[in-house]
């Protein structure tokens, strides 16, 4: 797995995204699981169309792992043929991040 930068943002924007995800965890009826570890926070994004007991993780993104304000992803080696479902999950994670970044959201 390669850890790659997906977006570089102002640190306060990343903190806003983390706060939104913390307020929309599975326990609160949302789709996120948030795992803070010092300055680094891992956010797991789950499928939303499943009953709670069947929630499936689509994947995760990392906040501040590669530096302040950096949102990063673990991606398959580009020379490795990944499963199509894994590629679709990665696309869904990127779309989720893009929505969270929008200034009028959250």
The residue-averaged pLDDT of 31-36 equals 96
Q: How far apart are CA 63 and CA 68, in angstroms?
A: 8
State yes or no: pLDDT of 105 exceeds 90: no
Query: Does residue 105 sit within a domain?
Result: no
Query: Does residue 106 sit within a domain?
Result: no
Cα-based distances in Å from 47 to 5, 32, 42, 56, 80: 23, 9, 17, 5, 25
What is the overall mean pLDDT for the chain? 86
Domains in the chain: how many in total?
1
Domain limits at 6?
Answer: 2-100
What is the band of 3 on the pLDDT scale with cuts at 50, 70, 90? confident
The pLDDT tens digits of the residues spanning 65-97 come to 999 999 999 876 555 555 556 677 889 899 999
């Amino acid at each position: 797995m390669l850890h790659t930068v997906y977006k570089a943002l102002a640190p306060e924007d990343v903190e806003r995204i983390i706060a939104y995800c913390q307020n929309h965890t599975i326990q609160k009826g949302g789709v996120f699981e948030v795992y803070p570890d010092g300055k680094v926070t891992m956010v797991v994004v789950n499928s939303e169309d499943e009953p709670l007991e069947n929630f499936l993780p689509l994947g995760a993104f990392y906040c501040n792992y590669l530096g302040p304000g950096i949102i990063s992803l673990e991606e398959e080696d580009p020379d490795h043929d990944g499963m199509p479902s894994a590629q679709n999950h990665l696309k869904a994670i990127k779309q989720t991040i893009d929505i969270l970044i929008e200034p009028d959201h959250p």
